[in-house]
Amino acid sequence: MSTLYSIHRKCRIWYRKIALEFILGSATANGWLIYNKRNEKSIPYSFFEELISKALAAVTLLIERPMTPKKVHTLSDGSEEKTIWTRCYKKLRAVMTSREADNKVKKICSHCKDCDGQLVMCLLFQ
């Protein structure tokens, strides 16, 4: 019965689709047969599938997601060696030579204390 309404399309993982269709199709066909034996009025297989899909679509899953605290970046201006701001350098490098961009790019020493990689941040982009 499940092969009457099957749709086969080629995809990269075709075997997974066929296995899933076989399992779900068999379960749906068995459920349809049991439903028709128990009830006096039998219904078509396609209508039975539609009833199942509507019932499954009406179910809502309540999954609680753990709240992740938002990270607050705290900038520190230290006396460390100044580094270039890479975003500004890339913008300047698009229109200038590398030496001109090196001379013109803003050099900063502000970074986030809490970040692992000591992310250098430009105060213009906050």
Model pLDDT for residues 84-120, shown as the tens digit of each residue:
667 777 888 888 888 888 777 767 666 666 665 555 5
Chain centroid to CA 93: 34
H and E: helices and strands count for the chain: 4, 4
Model pTM?
0.39
Burial degree of 79 (CB within 10 A; 0-12, 13-18, 19+): exposed
Are 108 and 122 in contact by the 8 Å Cβ rule? The answer is yes
Give 44-93 pLDDT, tens digit per residue. 999 999 999 899 888 777 778 788 777 776 666 665 656 666 777 788 88
Rounded CA gap, 82 and 85, in Å? 9
Q: Which two tokens stand for residue 106?
A: 């803003």
How far is CA 114 from each of CA 15, 39, 126, rounded to the nearest angstrom? 48, 66, 16
Q: How far apart are CA 122 and CA 115, in angstroms?
A: 15
pLDDT digits (tens, 9 = 90+) for 10-27: 666 777 777 778 888 899
